[in-house]
Structure 1
Amino acid sequence: MATSLVFGPFRLDTGAGILFHGAEPTPLGQRAVALLALLVERTGKLVSKEALIEAAWPGQAIEDSNLTVQIAAVRRVLENLAGGACWIETRPRHGYRYVGPAAAVDGLDPAAEVLAKPTPILPGKASIAVLPFSNLSGDPDQDYFADGIVDDIITGLARINWLLVIARNSTFTYKGRAVDVKQVGRELGVRYVLEGSVRRAGGRVRVTGQMIDASTGAHVWAERFDRSSGDIFALQDEIALSAVGAIAPSLRRAEIDRVKRNRPDSLDAYDLVLRAQSDVDSGMPERVMKALVLLERAIELDPAYALAHGNAAMCHHCLFLRAGLQEANRAASIRHARSAILHGQDDASALTFAGFSIGMDGHDRKAAFTALEAALAISPSSALTYILGSVILGWSGEAERAIEWSERGMRLSPFDPWTFAAFDAQAMSHLLRGRYDEACRAAYRSVHANPAHSITYVQLAAALAKLGRLEEARAAAVRVRELHPTFRYGRQLAAVNCDPALAQCLGDALHVAGLPE
């Protein structure tokens, strides 16, 4: 959760790069916010021009006049909203000093009434969250292996129709934290919590696990497993089956067979995909390039490894949309997606990634939803399937269905890093239906979920423009250009095969906000 600096009537969210006046964002751009943050953090102290320039223009050589312009923008906002132009003193030839109201550090999200999340309701069926297992191997570099075991256990559990399973993207927000199991149960809306540890050494793996009833704190099940590293897939299945057997002792044969699914032929390929996963999930071009190196090696070792192809498709999708709309990336995204579908008929994650790439980059919505619905048939608790599906629905102009899918995805993974995509789907859907206030709220949530992604500010700029809040819309548009310097809304909307009515609505608003076509 981003830290906020609270001073006077303002709250400055350093993570999202937004200055709020009460619950409303101000029109300050990224550089002005960075300058204000440094000044407020050093309240009462002189901050040199050099330090301020490095904060707002890291590694760049710029003229002092640029700093002067941004400081003037900060003073103008402070003056207009709180009579605070004098809060920033100029020390000629030296720098500036903040002398306004005392600042306090607040870990709470700004604009709580806009951003607050409701507590999930306990579902009417069995529900479970699997927390990250502790790595007891004595080697921090083995964290990815412990995480992979948990991820695979979650995947197995999620294939059981009568069990609601929280996605790993939400449970992993608890990694490295001392947790109160009852609180975890309340925050995620589940009855049971599974936790444990992993020790990998000398070709052996030891896993301990315990399941707790989050409503009472009582231990339901605990067990220790010792296996050879070569038996890792059988071990993961055994843990999942033992855990779910504690919830429902009379498991049917068909349910056991669903948990015991197909795995890659090569353990080395599996290991490479585990190592690549966090960079794939980042959605940042520099990191997905690193992931592709590992994924290509995995595919060389096991050409039929569906999840490796699915992840590679997501990497090329990211590069296509965020690194210049190069046809080679679009073609590679589609090629890997088709391989993931060919080899991954039993793999919900591979089908989800493939469906997303086919829908977004191949513009074949029918084929995309054939893959996504197949993924949900395999794994009804696949949060990412609903979230990525909501994005395709949003760009297709299916507003109400997009909102429904986004909400389902976030119930299955309340703290998912992909929630920004679900909120984007909601923002564009509300915009298309003329619900501009709701579009604005969803766009703010998206910005807070992922302030490094340009599309979040595209949705925000459009919603603000439709509300007539042009100064704020233009500030959001500036942020789009800072994050994506080559952005042209006409090209981007064509690249995702945007619904014509939505394209017209977004295009008109983004033009008013000052973004180039």
Structure 2
Amino acid sequence: MLGRRGVALLRRLLETAGVPVPKDALVEAGWGGLAVADNNLTVQIAALRRVLASTTDGESWIETLPRRGYRYVGPAVVVRDVSARAASAPTLPEKPSVAVLPFSNLSDEPGQEYFCDGMVDDIITGLARINWLFVIARNSTFTYKGRAVDVKQVGRELGVRFVLEGSVRKVGRHVRVTGQMIDTSTGAHVWAAHYDRSSDDIFALQDEMANAVVGAIAPSLRKAEIDRVKRKRPDSLDAYDLVLRAQLDVDSGMPEQVTRALTLLERAIDLDPSYALAHGNAAMCHHCLFLRTGLQEVNRVASIRHARAAMLHGQDDAAALTLAGFSIGMDGHDRIAAFTALEAALDISPSSALTYILGSVMLGWGGEAERAIEWSERGMRLSPFDSWAFAAFDAQAMSHLLRGRYDEACHAAYKSVQANPAHSITYVQLTAALAKLGRSDEARAAAARVLELQPAFRYSRQFAGVNCAPALAEIMGEALRGAGLPE
């Protein structure tokens, strides 16, 4: 069955049967003013071909013209005229919607305008790679360039829930970029930040700043959406809303919460069996249950099954690929396949902080200490207040432990505890670091907190479950045993 976009693309191809239709024209037909990554069109065309394949030779009716577009070459079809678009303002889409307005150039040099515009282009492109966002294309938002605007009015005119506006001030080699995301329905600030950088390579700086802005915006928008969905009646939730409502419990990483999340995720999957992010989150829930409730094979199998479903249906979804790769690597112990998925996620969304953070955890347990620290720091730079920040600090703590840097390990572990004080593994890292520093009383107190949160914790099971590198298992095991944690 074709979705709305598939029908629109087929109609556009049929209207000019036998004549090439450029990619831009198809994107306009299927997505209107929305900025989308190229692979979205490829996915929709593939879906069209699958539907047409039910007819003899139907799969070949849509011809690919490399670097040009597509052409319908099948039997003649009469296409009825459609009514003109309503003149009223567009309605809000179901998914969160964003318009990025041109940034103000506060530099003394008018010639720096290209730098501001280029950065906005990069931010729009980066946000468009996040498949749960509806992003207005540049051609629409740049009509506001040089105008004083009311963001609420912009929201009504473009049909978006959020507007991002900002400014750039460049003096010599120093650049300051400020940005703020505003909810157009209330005028409230969802996110605001400023970045200071110095660079001789203006284009590299432009890319870095755009990635930083996109990486910071994504979790803020997700949180705003979760808050919105919490206000909806339970009987009015669709698959997207159910996944959002489950998200905070998924992110907790603890059995009671993820069990609650699975109830919502299973409802979402019943409504939409091909919902990749629902499968990815379900995989993460079963991963948590596998590690924290006794390494039961049923949870490991379910984690991998949902991960494979997420990879099958989420080829354009960086978050789904990331969660799937994590489960394949941690529960399936196939880190080559895991990082193949993570690299695909970064190809889709280079600013995906979650990909770097969960990748750092796998690298940490795998004993690749320096690379784990590098990935965790990249993730935290993209999203300093990410809900998965505790995992990045865990990766740093175990990596510093492996390298014998116990003060740094302790510092990272305390950050992890602060970020997620209800997660048992954060206290495992802290226990090991304190024990290595000879702070025995504090280590035993941290160990007691591990068992309070996870009474069945046994460090040998934890190490086996995550396929811990032998050298790390030896160092941590000795420290945890000395602090009184059972093997």
In structure 1, the partner of 2:214 is none
2:260 corresponds to 1:313: no
How far residue 458 of structure 1 moved from its aligned partner, in angstroms, is 0.7
Selected match of 2:245 from 275, 291, 307: 275
In structure 1, the partner of 2:348 is 378
How far residue 278 of structure 1 moved from its aligned partner, in angstroms, is 2.6
Query: In the superposition, relative to structure 1, how do residues 273 and 432 fare at CA in structure 2: closer, same or farther (>3 Å)?
Result: same
In structure 2, the partner of 1:212 is 166
Letter in 2 for 1:348: A
Query: In the superposition, relative to structure 1, how do residues 449 and 219 fare at CA in structure 2: closer, same or farther (>3 Å)?
Result: closer
Cα offsets for 1:253-278 (capped at 9, x unmatched): xxxxxxxxxxxxxx932232233223
Selected match of 1:149 from 96, 99, 117: 96
SS at match of 1:211: strand
Letter in 2 for 1:512: G
In structure 1, the partner of 2:400 is 430
Selected match of 1:477 from 439, 447, 462: 447
TM-score by length of 1: 0.52
Query: In the superposition, relative to structure 1, how do residues 196 and 506 fare at CA in structure 2: closer, same or farther (>3 Å)?
Result: farther
Task: Please say if residues 365 and 468 of structure 2, whose CA atoms lie closer than 8 Å, have aligned partners that are also in contact.
Answer: yes
Task: Please say if residues 93 and 160 of structure 2, whose CA atoms lie closer than 8 Å, have aligned partners that are also in contact.
Answer: no
Q: Take 2:179 and 2:476, find their aligned partners in 1: how far apart are those partners?
A: 53
In structure 1, the partner of 2:52 is none
Measured on the aligned residues, the alpha-carbon RMSD in Å equals: 3.9
Task: Please say if residues 431 and 446 of structure 2, whose CA atoms lie closer than 8 Å, have aligned partners that are also in contact.
Answer: yes
Query: In the superposition, relative to structure 1, how do residues 152 and 509 fare at CA in structure 2: closer, same or farther (>3 Å)?
Result: farther
Which runs of 5 or more structure 2 residues have no equivalent in the other structure? 1-91, 101-118, 131-149, 170-175, 186-205, 208-236
Cα offsets for 1:475-494 (capped at 9, x unmatched): 11111111111111111111
In structure 2, the partner of 1:7 is none
In structure 2, the partner of 1:393 is 363
How far residue 323 of structure 1 moved from its aligned partner, in angstroms, is 2.7
In structure 1, the partner of 2:296 is 326
Query: In the superposition, relative to structure 1, how do residues 408 and 151 fare at CA in structure 2: closer, same or farther (>3 Å)?
Result: farther
2:476 corresponds to 1:506: yes
4+ residue runs of structure 1 moved beyond 6 angstroms?
A: 161-165, 195-198, 216-225
In structure 1, the partner of 2:266 is 296
Query: In the superposition, relative to structure 1, how do residues 212 and 483 fare at CA in structure 2: closer, same or farther (>3 Å)?
Result: same
Structure number with greater CO (CA < 8 Å, separation at least 6) is: 1
Task: Please say if residues 196 and 207 of structure 1, whose CA atoms lie closer than 8 Å, have aligned partners that are also in contact.
Answer: no
In structure 1, the partner of 2:377 is 407
Q: Superposition pairs for residues 114-133 of structure 1, below 5 Å?
A: none
Task: Please say if residues 158 and 381 of structure 1, whose CA atoms lie closer than 8 Å, have aligned partners that are also in contact.
Answer: no
Q: Take 2:385 and 2:336, find their aligned partners in 1: how far apart are those partners?
A: 29
How far residue 218 of structure 1 moved from its aligned partner, in angstroms, is 9.3
Q: Take 1:418 and 1:287, find their aligned partners in 2: how far apart are those partners?
A: 15
Query: In the superposition, relative to structure 1, how do residues 511 and 213 fare at CA in structure 2: closer, same or farther (>3 Å)?
Result: same
Selected match of 2:254 from 255, 280, 284: 284
SS at match of 1:318: helix
Letter in 2 for 1:279: D
Query: In the superposition, relative to structure 1, how do residues 208 and 417 fare at CA in structure 2: closer, same or farther (>3 Å)?
Result: closer
SS at match of 2:303: helix
Q: Take 1:395 and 1:219, find their aligned partners in 2: how far apart are those partners?
A: 37
Percent identity over paired residues: 71
2:404 corresponds to 1:450: no
Query: In the superposition, relative to structure 1, how do residues 223 and 281 fare at CA in structure 2: closer, same or farther (>3 Å)?
Result: closer
Q: Take 1:356 and 1:413, find their aligned partners in 2: how far apart are those partners?
A: 19
How far residue 498 of structure 1 moved from its aligned partner, in angstroms, is 0.3
Task: Please say if residues 159 and 378 of structure 1, whose CA atoms lie closer than 8 Å, have aligned partners that are also in contact.
Answer: no
Query: In the superposition, relative to structure 1, how do residues 510 and 516 fare at CA in structure 2: closer, same or farther (>3 Å)?
Result: same
Q: Take 1:315 and 1:158, find their aligned partners in 2: how far apart are those partners?
A: 37
How far residue 374 of structure 1 moved from its aligned partner, in angstroms, is 0.5
Which runs of 5 or more structure 1 residues have no equivalent in the other structure? 1-144, 169-194, 226-246, 249-266
Q: Take 1:344 and 1:392, find their aligned partners in 2: how far apart are those partners?
A: 21
How far residue 443 of structure 1 moved from its aligned partner, in angstroms, is 0.9
How far residue 160 of structure 1 moved from its aligned partner, in angstroms, is 5.4
